[in-house]
Every structure is written in C-alpha cells, then in structure tokens.
Structure 1
Amino acid sequence: MARIAYYRVSDTSQSVEAQRQALGGQFDREFADEGVSGAVQAADRKGFAELLSYVREGDTLYIYAIDRLGRDALDIQATIRRLIDKGVTVDVRGLGPIAKGVGELIVAVLAQVAEMERQRIRERCDAGRAAAKAALAATGKTHRGKASLGRPMAGDRATVQAWRSDNGASIAKTAAHFGLSLATIKRYCGPQ
C-alpha cells in the first residue's frame, strides 16, 4: 500500500513545490506534469500515464485539488472512476478520500467548476487578444504598450539571409554577428 502524490502545473514558470508543501506528507512515490495544460487528457500526460502504470490496489493517491487532474469534467470523472475501480483511494486535499456514490457526486460538481474556470480563462485570453488587436490597429501599440502581439522580430530576416549567403557563414557565425539565437537563425535561413 503505497502513498503516492501527483502534481500538475500548466506553465513552466510555475513550480509544483507549493502543491508538494501543501500536501506535506512523506510519499513513497511522486509523479508530476509540469508545463502541461489541464485541457490535456490525464492519461495523455507523461507523468500521469506513468502514475496509472504504477498504482496498485490498496494504494492512496494524494492530489492538491481536483483541477490538478484536469479541466475537462468528463475526463476528471472517468479518471477518478478508473482509479477507484483499480482499488486506489483518491485523497483530495481539503476533501479527504473520494468514495463511490456521494464522493463521486462531489467530484462531478468540482470537475464542472474546473471546466467552467478553464472556459473563463479562455474567454479572458480571447478578450485580451481582441483588445490588443484593436489597440494595435488604432494606435500602433497594443493596449499594454507593445509594438506587436507576438514575440518581437529579432533582426530582419532578409538582411540575415543575405549576410549569411554573401559571407558563406555558418549558423553559429551568423548568430554571433547579429546577436541572435541559433534557433532564430535556423528559422530565418534553414539548416543549410
């Protein structure tokens, strides 16, 4: 009977440490997915897929919150059911162990809330992009004062390509000359 923890953060700038500390236990095994959206089905995430292969009847899986399993209500419910059917106890911080029946009903409600929040995040992002596009069209700057919506262009592609061709330069030499990354030069000029 192993004590297992699972952590997930959506962005690589985030850390699972807050979840680890909040769960605060000594675990036999820990699994994590860092930089993976909750929109990705649980079984399709590397860390969670490894967890599913590892867990056995009698194990207890500890998670920080239902939304760490995902942001798709049906996937969360199917994942919890799969674990329970395997004989694994799912223990959610603040809720305790989830059992069949009432426990699954609570999970269903919380999973719907997680999915609703995902939709709200998407709506806020879409609204922000729309505002940025409108401001860019009207003023030449986004609503946050940036000159473009995406990553700013580093150097002029045509100039970089011409200089590399004229000088027979390698990708590394071209990158050094323009002060650009190797990835940018490869994107501009191809690997040649």
Structure 2
Amino acid sequence: MSRVAYYRVSTDAQSIEAQRQALGGSFDREFTDEGISGATLAADRPGFAKLLDYIRDGDTLFVYALDRLGRDALDVQATVRKLLDRGVTLDVRGLGPIGRGVGELIVAVLAQMADMERQRIKERCDSGRAAAKASLAATGMTHRGKAGLGRPFAADAKTVAEWRKANGASIAQTMAHFGISKATVSRYCSA
C-alpha cells in the first residue's frame, strides 16, 4: 500500500514545489509533469503514464487539486473512474478521499468547473492577442505599449553575429559579452 503523489504545472516557468509543500507528508513515490497543459489527456502525459504503470490496488494517490489531473472534464472523470476501478484511493487536498457515488458526483462538478476555467483562459488569451494585433496595426504599438508581439529579442541578432565574427569570439565568449544563452547565440549567428 503505497502513498503516491502527483504534481503537474502547465509551464516551465512554474514550479511543483508549492504543491509538494501543501501536500506535505512523505510519499513512497512522486510523479510529475512539468510544462504540460491540463488540456493534454492524463494518459498522454509522460509522468502520469508512469504513475498508471506503477500504482496498484490499495495505493493512495494524493493530488493538490482536481485540476492537476486535467482540465478536460470527461478525461478527469474517466481517469478518476479508472483509478477507483483499480482499487486506488484518490485523496484531493481540501476534499479528502474520493469514493464512488457522491465522490464521483463531486469530481464531475469540479472537473466541469476546471474545464470551464480552461475555456475562459483561452478566451482571455485570444482576446488579448486580438487587441494587441489591432493596436499594433493602428498605432505601431500593442495595447500594452510594446513594439511587437511575442517575447522581445534578447539582443540584436545582426549586432551579435557581427561582433562574434569581428572578434573571432567563441560561443561562450559571445554569451558572456551579451548576457544571452548558447541557443540564442547559435540562432543569431546561423541566420
């Protein structure tokens, strides 16, 4: 009877540490998916797939929140049912152990709310992107005062390439001079 934890964050900029601290406790195994959207089906996430291979009848799976299992309502419900069918107890922080009947009803409602939130996030992103494009076309600046869409360049590519060539500098020297990553130097100098 193992105590198993599962953590998921949607972007590489986020960390699972807050989830780990909130769940506390010592676990026999921990599985993670970092930088993977909740829109990705649970079984298609590498960490969760490994969890499914590991977990057995009598084990307890701990998750920080139901939306960590996913943001697709039908997938979350199917995942919970699959776990319960295997004899696994699902323990969601703040809800406690989820069982058949009322527990599945609660899961259905919360999974639907997570799905709705995913749709609202997408709508907000699409709306912001459209406003930025419209403002950029009209004024040359986005609605937030940026000169373009996307992440700003770390440095001017032409300047980096010319400096490296003029100084016969290595990638490491160019990285240090401009304070940019190896990948950025390589990308700028190969263009």
Assess, with a 3 A threshold, how the Cα gap between structure 1 residues 7 and 177 changes in structure 2: closer, same or farther. closer
What does 1:103-122 correspond to in 2, within 5 Å? Answer: 103-122=103-122
Assess, with a 3 A threshold, how the Cα gap between structure 1 residues 92 and 160 changes in structure 2: closer, same or farther. closer
TM-score by length of 2: 0.85
**Range with bigger deviation, 83-92 or 97-106:** 97-106
Secondary structure of the corresponding residue to residue 31 of structure 1: strand
1:52 aligns with 2:43: no
Assess, with a 3 A threshold, how the Cα gap between structure 1 residues 97 and 186 changes in structure 2: closer, same or farther. same
One-letter amino acid of the structure 2 residue matched with residue 76 of structure 1: V
One-letter amino acid of the structure 1 residue matched with residue 19 of structure 2: Q
**Residue matched to 2:147:** 147
For 2:10 and 2:89, locate their aligned partners in 1 and report how far apart those are by CA, in whole Å: 25
How many angstroms does 1:111 deviate by?
Answer: 0.6
Unaligned runs of 5+ in 2: none
**Residue matched to 1:91:** 91
What does 1:36-185 correspond to in 2, within 5 Å? Answer: 36-153=36-153, 181-185=181-185
Measured against aligned partners, the alpha-carbon deviations of 1:52-111 in whole angstroms (never above 9, x if no partner) come to: 111010000011111000001111011111111111111111211111222111111111
Assess, with a 3 A threshold, how the Cα gap between structure 1 residues 93 and 179 changes in structure 2: closer, same or farther. closer
Measured against aligned partners, the alpha-carbon deviations of 1:116-170 in whole angstroms (never above 9, x if no partner) come to: 0000000001111111111211221111111110123456666777888899987
What does 1:10-21 correspond to in 2, within 5 Å? Answer: 10-21=10-21
For 2:186 and 2:98, locate their aligned partners in 1 and report how far apart those are by CA, in whole Å: 51
Assess, with a 3 A threshold, how the Cα gap between structure 1 residues 182 and 20 changes in structure 2: closer, same or farther. closer
Assess, with a 3 A threshold, how the Cα gap between structure 1 residues 175 and 20 changes in structure 2: closer, same or farther. closer
**Range with bigger deviation, 47-56 or 159-168:** 159-168
For 2:24 and 2:10, locate their aligned partners in 1 and report how far apart those are by CA, in whole Å: 21
Assess, with a 3 A threshold, how the Cα gap between structure 1 residues 175 and 58 changes in structure 2: closer, same or farther. closer
For 2:156 and 2:16, locate their aligned partners in 1 and report how far apart those are by CA, in whole Å: 39
**Residue matched to 1:27:** 27
Assess, with a 3 A threshold, how the Cα gap between structure 1 residues 32 and 129 changes in structure 2: closer, same or farther. same
The CA RMSD measured in Å over matched residues stands at 2.5
TM-score by length of 1: 0.84
Give identity over the alignment, percent: 74
Secondary structure of the corresponding residue to residue 4 of structure 1: strand
**Range with bigger deviation, 110-119 or 166-175:** 166-175
Secondary structure of the corresponding residue to residue 147 of structure 2: coil
Assess, with a 3 A threshold, how the Cα gap between structure 1 residues 90 and 178 changes in structure 2: closer, same or farther. closer
